[in-house]
Homo-oligomer: A and B are copies of this chain.
Amino acid sequence: MTAPEFSLAIHGGCGVLPRSTITEKFAADVRAALHASLAAGAAILRDGGSALDAVEAAVVVMEDAAVFNAGHGAAFNEAGGHELDAAIMDGRTLEAGAVTGARAMRNPIRVARGVMASGDFLLLQGDGADAFARHNGYDIVPQSYFGTDQRRQMLAEMKALAAEGQAVKANEAQKHGTVGAVARDRHGNLAAATSTGGYTNKPVGRVGDTPIVGAGTYANNATCAVSGTGKGEYFIRKVLAHEISARIQYLGHSLERATADMVAELRDWQCGAGVVAVDRYGNVTLPYNTEGMYRGSITSLKPASVAIYE
């Protein structure tokens, strides 16, 4: 089998709307946004650009799309506001950058890239993250930029369920959502990027797996690049993305086996979860244990394809 010269896989979260309630319009918007994200990343990879640039570009498109829980369209927290998390990692150098609890930056993944480039620190939280964005000239937006009517309705639904003590009955779309991308470029370098608004009605200050290197985001040229989606606390406890890397490196597992095993382990913990991953050979895999996962992939050998359910 010929190995692809470049590969890109993306997700818009495993918190999909149930098949029974999704509208044709919404599904079409999701597919269009996934295709636009793949196109943005693939254009860079096709021209010999870096995996790092490709995953950043792919995630920016999804942050700007209202249908995904990241950037514009981010989930509301319990206070009716938005706190955003993002991380990016370079598999060549193991450098990374991340922000958590950001409230004012339009594109958290761009700022995470800037944090990485700063070199001195890796993860900034809260006001410090937004101050870094302001100081370095990134786009600043009011909180109202992030909210959409759909997300506001989900907050009302979640608060109603919580008031009845029935929050566990919420569907995956009400609960969470994330966007992410992994890539291998023509030079053999891997990168991963993830961005999220967390989950609807989350406590102020809650940090999930997205900005945590090794949990929801990880890249290492020696093994793989991984971006996760699901209940972040479980990803953190499993150190999920790094665990996948370790099983490839030390147990010789294939990318497909290592990722499928971890997604199954999270199912055993009653945790809805999915990942997109690419290995050093350019293989891609997109396993999930929920009803669906907004997802897509493209390689030098295969045209872009996107999907929502099985």
Contacts and interface: CB of A to CB of B under 8 A. Distances in A.
Interface of A: 94-96, 100-101, 120-129, 131-132, 202-208, 212-215, 218, 232-233, 236-239, 242-243, 246-247, 250-251
- Dominant SS among interface residues on chain A: mixed
Nearest to A96: B237
A172 to B, nearest CB: 17
Contact of A127 (B120, B204, B233): B204
A203 B204 CA distance: 22
Contacts of A214: 212, 214-215, 236, 239, 242
Contacts of A236: 96, 122-123, 213-214
A239 B239 contact: yes
Contacts of A123: 206-208, 212, 236
Contacts of A129: 205
B128 A203 contact: yes
Contact of A205 (B95, B96, B126): B126
Contacts of A100: 125, 207
A95 B96 CA distance: 25
Contacts of A131: 204-205
Contacts of A206: 121, 123-124, 128
A233 B247 CA distance: 23
Contacts of A212: 123, 212-214
A237 B204 contact: no
Contact of A101 (B122, B128, B232, B233): B128
Nearest to A79: B128
A304 to B, nearest CB: 32
Contact of A237 (B122, B202, B232): B122
Contacts of A128: 101, 203-206
A96 B237 CA distance: 7
16 contacts: A95-B237, A96-B236, A101-B126, A123-B207, A123-B208, A125-B125, A128-B203, A128-B205, A128-B206, A131-B204, A212-B212, A213-B237, A214-B239, A218-B239, A239-B242, A250-B251
